[in-house]
């Protein structure tokens, strides 16, 4: 637990140095940064990542490997959707990739999400080529495995994760693999910045204040869509934000429909436990992970 918390604290520190604060960055603005980190800060950050971040990541890997027999052996092939970039592991920007249909331009995101309302939920569900799709670390892993760093691929092999993988419980394992990739990538990025030299930037002082902007990026729990239209007074006229937890809801439903018949003879306690594990494997919002599931048995 302490190793995981230290990794989390290190990630927060990276955010604070690069973007002004750990959550909801403030120094990155249209056209650049209002404040850039110093070379001294970046050098110290690199040293801390190497001396503390990498050992903690390796410790977490060993812990997860020791729990391999605790992960339920369940599979259901589904559609996996994530950001894809042919130059790097898809985390920041790129096209929308479906494991079923290929690539879709970001501006056509509504063709992919197709949100709909269901009677049993207050949240919208989403579907594309099938009745549901999966977003998150496992989707990224399946769609962009070839772009992972070699060390991350080695960790995946050690943890029994290969692409494609259809076990939703392995989403957490895929997140561990991504931690390794990101830690190493952070070191490489710092080296590049230090090699080129840090220069103060002068962001665009007169940005366009009206129009429509559409973007997609990956957050830990999956692909995220933002779509905003501003009028000439700089006021938002329309806004659409489609979050990963909502996109995963239909897929969680479909997983449960297949899982329950397979474990129906295991007893109420084990059934409830595996269903709770399934929901949390998707890494939903905190409130969802705690309050999403209420299991009722009818005999």
- Predicted local distance difference test score (pLDDT) of residue 287: 65
C-alpha span between 150 and 148 (Å, rounded): 6
pLDDT value at residue 275: 95
Q: What pLDDT was estimated at residue 296? A: 80
Of 136, 105, 110, nearest in space to 124 by CA: 110
Which pLDDT does position 288 carry in this prediction?
Answer: 65
Give residue 102's pLDDT: 98
Q: Which regions in the chain score pLDDT beneath 70?
A: 286-292
Taking the model in full, what pTM does it have? 0.93
- Tell which residue, 225, 226, 220, 224, has the closest CA to residue 282: 220
């Amino acid at each position: 637990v302490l190793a995981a918390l230290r990794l989390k604290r290190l990630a927060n520190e990276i955010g604070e140095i690069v973007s002004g604060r750990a959550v909801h960055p403030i120094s990155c603005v249209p056209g650049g940064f209002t404040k850039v980190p110093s070379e001294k800060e970046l050098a110290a950050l690199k040293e801390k990542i190497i001396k503390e971040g990498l050992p903690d990541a390796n410790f977490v890997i060993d812990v997860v490997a020791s729990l391999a027999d605790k992960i339920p052996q369940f599979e259901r092939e589904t559609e996996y959707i994530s950001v894809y970039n042919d130059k790097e592991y898809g985390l920041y920007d790129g096209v929308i990739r479906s494991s079923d249909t290929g690539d879709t331009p970001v501006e056509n995101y509504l063709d992919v999400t197709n949100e709909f309302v269901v009677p049993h939920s207050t949240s919208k569900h989403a579907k594309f080529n099938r009745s549901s799709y999966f977003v998150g670390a496992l989707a990224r892993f399946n769609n962009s495995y070839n772009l992972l760093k070699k060390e991350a691929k080695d960790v995946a092999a050690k943890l029994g994760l290969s692409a494609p993988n259809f076990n939703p419980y392995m989403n957490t394992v895929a997140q561990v693999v991504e931690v390794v990739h990101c830690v190493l990538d952070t070191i490489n990025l710092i080296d590049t910045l230090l090699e080129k030299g840090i220069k103060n930037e002068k962001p665009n002082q007169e940005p366009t204040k009206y129009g429509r902007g559409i973007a997609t990026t990956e957050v830990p729990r999956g692909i995220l869509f933002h779509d905003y239209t501003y009028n000439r007074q700089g006021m938002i006229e329309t806004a659409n934000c489609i979050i990963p937890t909502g996109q995963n809801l239909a897929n969680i439903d479909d997983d449960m429909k297949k899982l329950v018949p397979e474990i129906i003879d295991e007893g109420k306690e084990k059934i409830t436990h595996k269903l709770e594990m399934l929901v949390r494997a998707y890494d939903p919002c905190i409130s969802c992970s705690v309050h999403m599931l209420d299991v009722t048995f009818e005999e």
